[in-house]
Amino acid sequence: MDSWPCHPFQGFLQSRAAEPRHRESFSMPKRLLMVLLSLAPIASVAEGPAPRKFELRAESPLFWKLLEHDAKLSRVGTGFGFTEGPVWDPHGFLYVSDETLNKIFRLYPDGHREELIPLGDPDGNTFDRQLRLLDCASVLRAVIRFGPDGHFTTLADRYQNKRFNSPNDLVVGPDGAIYFTDPTLDLPKGETQEIPFQGVYRLDDNGEVRLLTRDLAQPNGLAFSPNGKHFYVDDSERGDIRVYDFLPGGTLGNGRQFGAEPGGADEGVPDGMRVDQEGYLFVVGPLGIWVWDPAGHHLGTIVMPEQPANLTWGEPDYGALFITATTSVYRLRTRVRGFVPYLPSQRQKNSPQRPQSSQRSSKASSL
């Protein structure tokens, strides 16, 4: 496992996934952009930006409430194509999506990895309340769930009988429903955008899909506050984070800008996000992970050697951040504990439980 001290500053699915993606409002797909960013350090100064170094860049003294001054960044694994969707399994490993190798892996703390599932362009992952793995499957244009028998179940692939664009990331809400974003960032090449906007949706136990908002250009990462009162979504095109009041019945209100993450064209965009138990946000943005307090103040940035796409809380105390960054996965211990909404100990009291639902299934390799 490499480490850096803190610097002072199968077939059908795979063949379709191998085709290049396009996005409506960006000049190149997200994965290609991030890979190019990761190659920048090997270019000469005359050809591109200087190499990145791990750095904890504080904008407020409160930043050090969350991270140690001498925190070290460790590389857990590398040699991937484009990493996304990390999820910590209580058995002591990570699930990691690789959007270019078209697989989901198990990655262990010693760097050993095992192929779990061949799947075209897997993206964001999470567990549901029964600790079943959920995935945003871009090639299928669907939200799917994996079972221990090696089958995956399609939970939803349409809204008002029109296919989703390319579901990107998802989270379990205080009510047990699944909330997910549907930008066009990974819409398969040659396929038609059937829904004329990029939405944020709620999916309940019965398979009902409800549109929550369509006021973002390219919605991406999303998270709930620990008290269940606020819902955050970032926008990769507009470069900002929006917050909504989370209302009874799983609806949203009072949408407004929470914060902006400006950066250069080659520095990355808002992407995955996580929240700690006190409501502080850790959001992918230009150069690394931007850290925010619950009031929308930018406290500082975790500058990463490779541009990240997503992150998750892990280890037995959920005090470490595992960060998927282009070709690698990194680990960073923090001074806080993560808010993990699907864990029984962190659910809102009196929130409704989700019954099992039955949907159509397709076969994948064994879990």
Please give the pLDDT value at position 55: 98
pTM: 0.84
Which amino acid is it at 17?
Answer: A
**2-363 belongs to CATH 2.120.10.30:** yes
- Answer whether 250's CB lies under 8 Å from 173's CB: yes
Q: Is the pLDDT of residue 42 over 70?
A: no
Q: For 104-108, 115-119, 131-135, 179-183, which range has the lowest pLDDT when averaged over its residues?
A: 115-119
Average pLDDT, the chain: 86
CA atoms of 38 and 265, how far apart (whole Å): 14
Please give the pLDDT value at position 3: 55
Please give the pLDDT value at position 364: 33
CA atoms of 312 and 42, how far apart (whole Å): 28
**Nearest Cα residue to 201 out of 183, 186, 184, 217:** 183
**Nearest Cα residue to 298 out of 338, 247, 263:** 263
pLDDT, mean of residues 161-183: 98
Q: Is the pLDDT of residue 31 over 70?
A: no
CA atoms of 167 and 157, how far apart (whole Å): 9
Q: For residue 42, give every residue at least 6 positions away whose Cβ sits within 8 Å of its Cβ, in sequence order, or none.
A: 51
Please give the pLDDT value at position 354: 38
pLDDT, mean of residues 93-121: 96
CA atoms of 310 and 284, how far apart (whole Å): 7
pLDDT, mean of residues 320-334: 98
Give the SS3 label for residue 17: helix
> Biggest alpha carbon distance in the chain?
60
Predicted confidence (pLDDT) per residue in 76-89, tens digit: 999 999 999 999 99
- Answer whether 123's CB lies under 8 Å from 186's CB: yes
